[in-house]
Amino acid sequence: MVATTGHDYLSSLRAATTASAQCLLHVEGLTVGYPDPDGEQMLAVDGVTLQLVGGEAVGLLGESGSGKTTLGLTLLGLLPPTAIIMRGSAVFRGEELLTLGEREFQKLRGAAISMVYQEPGSALNPVLRVGQQIAEVIRAHRPFTRERAGEEASLLLALVGFPKEMCISAAYPHQLSGGQQQRVAIAQAIAARPALLIADEPTTALDRVTQLGILDLLASLREKLQLALLLISHDPYVLARTVDRIVVMRNGRIVDQGPTRDLVLNAEQAYTQTLLKSSQASKRYGRNFSSPGSVSTESSPEHAGSLASEPATLLSAVHLQKSYVQGRWPSANRLQVHALRGVDLKLHTGSTLALIGVSGSGKSTLARCLACLERPDSGEIWFERTNLTDLSHRELIPFRRQIQLVFQDPGSSLNPHFTALEVISEPLLTVALGSKKQWRERALELMELVGLPSDSEKRLPHQFSAGQRRRLAIARALAAKPKVLILDEALTGLDLPVQAQIAELLRELQARLSLTYLYISHDLGLMSQLADQVIVLHQGQIIEAATPLELFAKPQSVAASNLVRASFELCSSGD
């Protein structure tokens, strides 16, 4: 969906108002606080006034900590126990939300207002098949039998883009890619036909091609189901493609708002201009992409050529194969998913190799195999002169210390009950390296190295900002003095200024500690800043290898060309 002009927006607003005699949602003076360490109230939402009419799409734009998510959680009655609604009103279809009890909210959630979360992998139940999870939502709000609910779940999965032959209904969440998980989460959110869908950063962790697919899906569902959409994002170009109107939040307050095109092109508020300028780096990368004309579908692994004297190979993969099975045994509908199909790569000492590809291409599976967290079905993984696939679990332990994986979502990979000191020390405890005193000294040294406050050693992970949690995850990965860091979307979901800080930290650590990186990302701009070489993974196969500049200038494969085009298209939204 393209951004609208001010005239188009007013026309659509009048049409929606005609269809609905009153606003669907009216928030007035909403103020929500959290207690700070001194016992005072820290305002997460401060006097917010907002309204939506039926079928309207509104975007909430702002940096992390601006109050966007807190506003969404308030509307669903999902605030944490420490939060206090201090004053204000939120009226949905004539009913005051802020006075509802939990039982009333249970009837409302899903049936009238639904939410799609930033991390669908965390929101979906890991031990239930996705079809069951959608059917549960349907049965909670509609008088359907188990069989009828299952049929309805299959129809919903088809509506969000899954053909029946994929057997997605029988899959567990961990068997799906990030983009597939997000589509399942959307199917679950619309299962009871709500009037308002709140989508909290639904595309942040996805590649540009999949991002466009999810945004187009939301636009399509909004039209088909007459949904009102409240889309939360820190990326103005995601909003520019999708919503009618943008509301800008800062420090819990609304500081700017207006029709999408007017706000993106002619922002007058200084803070809004800052947010737009922060996105210009990504936009410049998009502008510098050569518009690919006729591209070859043939693979070109040696596209970049070979250097006269190649550095030593530290980690390599030889013809890796990995498959999963989706579906129930002994059903004839079981589907074998080939995540890796004969992958070969070399990671040279002291270098940064970037791995890109659309969601579901096998990137994270490859990362887990190289980090010895999963065993490939066949093939070899060599660390220096040792074939890791020949080793037993016990024999792998010293090599696991040498190859560390920094996960995409530190919020779920860090133990929530551990202090920062305990989080960083945990790898040392696991392998019994040194004494407790030495562990503490090492942890404090690493906290300083990654730029965490020296007085934060007793904080729990949730007491750090998103960027600080990334630093904490990097410090933990460095605790055992590895040679290789595998960074699986390690900068995803961060505000652009924070991304730049963490990228600079990674460059400094690489130079100081002689680290070797495998950097997995969907962000072509960040990739160009960090990587020496790029490989493109598509449907479990490496189809192209190049330098970042070569990839931008003239991609040699259809998959790489699509990634470049999607980046350009999204970054051009609102022009």
Count of beta carbons in the 10 Å neighbourhood of residue 248: 24
Q: Within its chain, how far is the Cα of 114 from the centroid?
A: 19
Q: Where are the alpha helices (DSSP H) in 226-318?
A: 236-242, 260-265, 270-278, 280-288
Q: Which of 362, 331, 323 is nearest to 129 (CA)?
A: 331
**pLDDT, averaged across the chain:** 84
Q: Where are the alpha helices (DSSP H) in 142-207?
A: 146-159, 178-189
pLDDT of 163 reads: 84
| For residue 12, pLDDT beyond 50 | no
pLDDT of 255 reads: 95
pLDDT digits (tens, 9 = 90+) for 407-416: 877 767 888 8
> Do β-strands 41-52 and 228-233 pair in parallel, antiparallel, or remain unpaired?
unpaired
The SS3 call for residue 507 is helix
Structure tokens at 558: 């259809």
Instruction: Report the C-alpha gap between 240 and 259 in whole angstroms.
Output: 10
> Do β-strands 57-61 and 228-233 pair in parallel, antiparallel, or remain unpaired?
parallel
Name the range with the highest mean pLDDT among 32-36, 429-433, 483-487, 556-560.
483-487
Long-range contacts of 423-429 (CB under 8 A, 24+ apart): 423/461, 423/472, 423/476, 424/472, 424/475, 424/476, 424/479, 425/479, 426/476, 426/479, 427/401, 427/476, 427/477, 427/479, 427/480, 428/479, 428/480
86-95, 173-182, 332-341, 358-367, range with the lowest pLDDT: 332-341
Let me know: does 348 contact 364? Beta carbons within 8 Å. no
DSSP H or E segment with residue 562: helix 558-571
Q: Given pLDDT bands bounded at 50, 70 and 90, which one contains residue 284?
A: very low
Instruction: Report the C-alpha gap between 553 and 462 in whole angstroms.
Output: 42
Average pLDDT rounded to a whole number, residues 350-378: 91
Q: Given pLDDT bands bounded at 50, 70 and 90, which one contains residue 3?
A: very low
| For residue 259, pLDDT beyond 90 | yes
| For residue 89, pLDDT beyond 60 | yes
The SS3 call for residue 87 is strand
Structure tokens at 428: 């040392």
| For residue 445, pLDDT beyond 60 | yes
Q: Which of 282, 333, 239 is nearest to 573 (CA)?
A: 239
pLDDT of 333 reads: 57
Q: Given pLDDT bands bounded at 50, 70 and 90, which one contains residue 120?
A: confident
54-68, 139-153, 161-175, 355-369, range with the lowest pLDDT: 161-175
| For residue 40, pLDDT beyond 50 | yes
The SS3 call for residue 233 is strand
Model's pTM, two decimal places? 0.73
Let me know: does 545 contact 304? Beta carbons within 8 Å. yes
Tokens 């979360």, located at residue: 117
pLDDT of 453 reads: 85
Average pLDDT rounded to a whole number, residues 255-281: 85
Structure tokens at 275: 């947010």
Q: Where are the alpha helices (DSSP H) in 346-465?
A: 363-370, 393-402, 410-413, 420-430, 436-449
pLDDT of 327 reads: 60
- DSSP lists the bridge partners of residue 485 as 404, 517
Burial 345-361 (b: 16+ CB within 10 A, else e): bbbbeebbbbbbbbbbb
Beta-sheet strands, E only, within 403-527: 403-406, 484-488, 516-520
| For residue 529, pLDDT beyond 70 | yes
Burial 178-190 (b: 16+ CB within 10 A, else e): bbbbbbbbbbbbb
Q: Given pLDDT bands bounded at 50, 70 and 90, which one contains residue 179?
A: confident
Average pLDDT rounded to a whole number, residues 211-232: 91
21-25, 290-294, 509-513, range with the lowest pLDDT: 290-294
Instruction: Report the C-alpha gap between 360 and 175 in whole angstroms.
Output: 10
| For residue 45, pLDDT beyond 50 | yes
pLDDT of 573 reads: 62
Instruction: Report the C-alpha gap between 451 and 89 in whole angstroms.
Output: 41
User: What angle separates helix 208-225 from helix 178-189, to the nearest 10 degrees?
Assistant: 10
Instruction: Report the C-alpha gap between 101 and 312 in whole angstroms.
Output: 64
Name the range with the highest mean pLDDT among 168-172, 358-362, 540-544.
540-544
Average pLDDT rounded to a whole number, residues 237-255: 93
pLDDT of 198 reads: 96
Average pLDDT rounded to a whole number, residues 40-66: 91
Name the range with the highest mean pLDDT among 166-180, 374-388, 456-470.
374-388
Cβ neighbors of 334 (< 8 A, separation 6 or more) are 167, 170, 325, 326, 327, 328
Instruction: Report the C-alpha gap between 43 and 31 in whole angstroms.
Output: 7
Q: Given pLDDT bands bounded at 50, 70 and 90, which one contains residue 265?
A: confident
